[in-house]
Structure 1
Amino acid sequence: MPNRKNKHKPRQHQAKRPRSEISTSESDISNTMAKSNVSYIEDTGFDQDFHTLNTLLETFSKDENTTKKAVTIILNHESFRSHISDILLEKVSTLESRIDSLEYQLDDLEQYSRRNCIKITGVAEGKEENTDEVALNVINKLILGPDKTSISLDKVERSHRVGKPRDDRPRDIIVKFTSYRDRALVYAKKSNLKTYNQNELNAHKIFINESLTRKRMDLLVATKKIFKEKRINSVWTYDGRIMAKTHTGKKWTITRSTDIDKLKEFIRSERPQPVTSTPAGR
């Protein structure tokens, strides 16, 4: 059989536009500008510059001169600058909100990883000490001893001093228990340290606190400052949360810096307002 010639014409492949090219129609730009309520009628020569900018955007590439021309037109008109500024501010605000949320979640996870830990402050420091034995000595003698209870070494997962050695005071000891139950038992009995701390012969007072993240420690310091100013009744921590009670008995949970501002505002609002008397005859 005779060879049949292919009657179909070969497809003509169109050249692909470079990725850097931005296709923006004039109607798209117009609609976008209209939606943003940008008033550009007052701009002198706006129509001419608008069409010029639209043409530049249609052929936008890596060409430096084209970029400079487009930027110059944008900067010369308040309408363009205002519109771009609004878009950027909205995106920045959204990103800041997301970052704040992620930082809070990360801090929450870090605090949860410390739920089995306590921090012991004021225990004398030795050169070749075993912090497990030092911590258990304080816990069993001073904290649990008065109630005739104790915990064994196998209940302690690990312990260590925090920071670099200092000459003015001993470093804190972080103790991590194998279970939250043992940690909660020790923390609940920390008030038994009052007898030891009231003895003037002891060189250092010993305190038991929760192991907080950096962010929550900063919140605790800020809340304690309000307490020292006698603006609230008390402040304490519970499972990594900063708690405060006002003089009217209202409890607050502090998790963010904005909660501190809300607490201060509430304190100002709950103060009794002075009563002003109206003179007789008026």
Structure 2
Amino acid sequence: MEMRSRRKILLVHGIAEDKKENTSSSVVKILSDHLKVPGITTDSIGRSHRLGQPGTDKPRAVLVEFRDYGTKEKIWLAKKNLKGTGITLSEFLTKGRHTTFQAARQRFGVSRCWTRNGIIFVLGPDQVRHRIHSRLDLDAISTSESVTQATSAVTSVPSVVKDSRSAQVRTKRIGKK
């Protein structure tokens, strides 16, 4: 439920701070210059503000809530154009998902972990994409990988680790007549 309310929100990192700044116009200027997505105006943004307390050397992230989900998705999908600019985009995850995502990035590497609509995805060592909901799911990937590696070393027959979604079996609901 909480992630549903965060669907239209992105965090923009790396925008320099000014004393009297208008964060909406700063974000629109940066995104329209780098992303080349047409139609980004200050009217596209519902609200925006800096996160955290001022005073550090590092610029604080800007929380941007867009008026509609489509605009947020266009910007999210065009974020690869920000490479090398020092500006990054991230989703506004809940505390639990954020800590799980950080743990996944430490364990598997930055390039093998990503989020999409608040869902964490990890590309395992066996090149299978896993959908992560909690730390237990993350720990299950590590233990299943080490078990299959030990099994394949002993039997020398390659084993296949299934995607975490395929392990769930749903029964068909039969309605009353």
Fold agreement, TM-score > 0.5: yes
Preserved CA contact (<8 Å) 2:108 2:124: no
Instruction: Give the share of equivalent positions with the same residue, in percent.
Output: 30
Which of the numbers 115, 123, 126 marks the counterpart of 1:245?
A: 123
The whole-number CA distance in structure 2 between the counterparts of 1:179 and 1:165 is 29
Structure 1's 260 and 275: CA in aligned 2 closer, same or farther, altered over 3 A?
closer
The whole-number CA distance in structure 1 between the counterparts of 2:87 and 2:61 is 10
For residue 209 of structure 1, what is the aligned residue in structure 2? 90
Aligned Cα RMSD in Å? 2.0
Structure 1's 138 and 270: CA in aligned 2 closer, same or farther, altered over 3 A?
farther
Helix, strand or coil at the partner of 1:168: coil
The whole-number CA distance in structure 2 between the counterparts of 1:242 and 1:270 is 23
Instruction: Choose between structure 1 and 2: higher strand proportion.
Output: 2
Question: Is the radius of gyration larger for structure 1 or structure 2?
Answer: 1
2:3 maps to 1:111: yes
For residue 274 of structure 1, what is the aligned residue in structure 2? 153
TM-score, normalised by the number of residues in structure 1: 0.52
The whole-number CA distance in structure 2 between the counterparts of 1:215 and 1:274 is 36
Q: How does 1:111-260 map to 2 (within 5 A)?
A: 111-143=3-35, 145=36, 149-196=38-85, 205-228=86-109, 234-260=112-138
Q: How does 1:22-171 map to 2 (within 5 A)?
A: 109-143=1-35, 145=36, 149-171=38-60
Task: Give the superposition deviation at 1:264.
Answer: 1.1
Structure 1's 195 and 261: CA in aligned 2 closer, same or farther, altered over 3 A?
closer
Helix, strand or coil at the partner of 1:271: helix
Deviations 1:71-128 (A, max 9, x none): xxxxxxxxxxxxxxxxxxxxxxxxxxxxxxxxxxxxxx11110000100011101110
The whole-number CA distance in structure 1 between the counterparts of 2:81 and 2:39 is 13
Helix, strand or coil at the partner of 1:208: strand
The whole-number CA distance in structure 1 between the counterparts of 2:71 and 2:155 is 57
State the AA in 2 paired with 1:116: K
State the AA in 2 paired with 1:246: G
The whole-number CA distance in structure 2 between the counterparts of 1:206 and 1:267 is 35
The whole-number CA distance in structure 2 between the counterparts of 1:172 and 1:195 is 18
State the AA in 2 paired with 1:125: E
Task: Give the superposition deviation at 1:188.
Answer: 0.3
**Greater relative contact order (CA < 8 Å, ≥ 6 in sequence):** 2
For structure 1, list consecutive stretches of 5 or more residues without a partner in the other structure. Answer: 1-108, 197-204, 278-282
Tell me which stretches of 4 or more aligned residues in structure 1 moved more than 3 Å: 272-277
Preserved CA contact (<8 Å) 2:112 2:122: yes
The whole-number CA distance in structure 2 between the counterparts of 1:213 and 1:259 is 17
Structure 1's 249 and 276: CA in aligned 2 closer, same or farther, altered over 3 A?
closer
Instruction: Choose between structure 1 and 2: higher helix proportion.
Output: 1
Task: Give the superposition deviation at 1:195.
Answer: 4.2
Helix, strand or coil at the partner of 1:244: strand
Task: Give the superposition deviation at 1:269.
Answer: 2.6
